[in-house]
Amino acid sequence: MEYTVDIHAKRLLKILSKKEPCEWCPAAPYYDPNVICDILYDNIPCEICRDFVGISYRCPCIYFGHEKAIKLTWMALEEAGYLE
């Protein structure tokens, strides 16, 4: 199965409703950040995640910090039409 931007956006919307969204991984089963999700897909979900907010390495929550990562994620979701 291929991890797509559409899958990523839908799963992001689910974790953004959680109390601590940066403690979850949108690509992992049950959103568990301790599970390596790369083996589940034909492509690398982390690349889609990072591209979604415009970075080239690291988890957005680590790269930007929680507040900025969440803000940029909401902006990217809105820009891509997922919040309408």
Residues 79 and 60: their CA atoms lie apart, in Å, by 17
The pTM (predicted TM-score) of the whole model is 0.90
Torsion angles phi and psi, residue 34, rounded to 5: -90, -5
What six digits make up the tokens of 30? Answer: 């049950």
Among 24, 1, 3, which Cα is nearest to 14's? 24
Task: Count Cα atoms within 13 angstroms, Cβ side, for 53.
Answer: 24
pLDDT (tens, 9 = 90+) of the chain, 84 residues, equals 899 999 999 999 999 999 999 999 999 999 998 988 878 898 999 999 999 999 999 999 999 999 999 999 999 999 999 997
